[in-house]
Amino acid sequence: MNDNDLDVLGPIDYLVVEFPADRKPDGSALPLLIDLVDRNIIRVLDLIFVRKEPDGALSGIAIEDLGFEGGVDVTLFAEAATGLIDRTDLEEAAAVLEPGCSGAILVYENCWAAPFASALRREGAQLVASGRIPVQGILAALDALDASS
């Protein structure tokens, strides 16, 4: 990646998703992720599937070995490996996954925000705080508002 690429880079986010121990992922969310990539909303940088064993050990799972149903083309994701996820990241993911569960670790660029972020960087601005409000928190707050009305 050269300096020009960095000038137009959007914010980078990650997420860790846990799948229940009694069900394996079926791949039904992957077409939606592919749609986001196709529409240049995000760019998948890394996608790693893991399983946390009952003893706490973490093992990788090749996306091709998940046996997704519905003919999902996993080629895009099998090649998504920039190396941004290191051993420390895997250990942190293991800490939040329940034993016996599988999970996905996704690192992605927010392409939609790249022009805005680039303009801010040119102005000398920098991001000093960021966060996310979980959907459950929004729903709870709305329920509380409804109850008080």
Rounded mean pLDDT of the chain? 85
* SS3 letters across 22-43: CCCCCCCCHHHHHHHHHCCCEE
CA 40/CA 34 separation, integer angstroms: 10
pLDDT in the model for residue 123: 93
The number of residues in the chain equals: 149
Q: Which alpha helices (DSSP H) does 2-134 contain, by range? A: 3-7, 30-38, 75-78, 87-96, 114-122
pLDDT in the model for residue 28: 82
> What are the tens digits of pLDDT across the range 80-101?
778 888 889 888 888 999 999 9
The segments of the chain whose pLDDT lies below 70 read 1-7, 67-79
> What are the tens digits of pLDDT across the range 60-83?
887 777 766 666 666 666 667 788
pLDDT in the model for residue 8: 81
